[in-house]
Amino acid sequence: AVVSTQSTGSHIKENLEETSKLMGYIVPLVSQKCPELADFIVNSDAGTMFSLSWIITWFAYVITDEALIYRLYDAFIVSDALLPVYLSAAILLYRKTRIMSVEC
């Protein structure tokens, strides 16, 4: 029980301040690997809201494979609280071509 409350602590506060802070790390992380993609995201005025459902549901909102969701939850529970942020940045980098092909 201690592990799960420590891992989900930022998501069960009265407001989304901590979650918002976590989401704010995503684009700077992307920028370290691909400044062009980070600039594209910033210029699109998407802010960090695109990642809200990813962070607060640990991707369960966008993944339909239950086994994958369980594996992600296992990893998130026992890992650093920033793992969902790192995964978010990795997904953006993986989808770079598709993201940058849309008009912003």
* Cα distances (Å, whole numbers) of residue 33 to 37, 87, 89: 9, 14, 10
In angstroms, rounded to a whole number, what is the distance separating the alpha carbons of residues 95 and 37?
10
In angstroms, rounded to a whole number, what is the distance separating the alpha carbons of residues 1 and 10?
16
CA-angle at 36, arms to 76 and 47, nearest 5°: 55
Q: Give pLDDT tens digits along the chain (104 positions).
A: 455 555 555 555 677 889 999 999 999 999 999 999 999 999 999 889 999 999 999 999 999 999 999 999 999 999 999 999 999 999 999 999 999 999 87
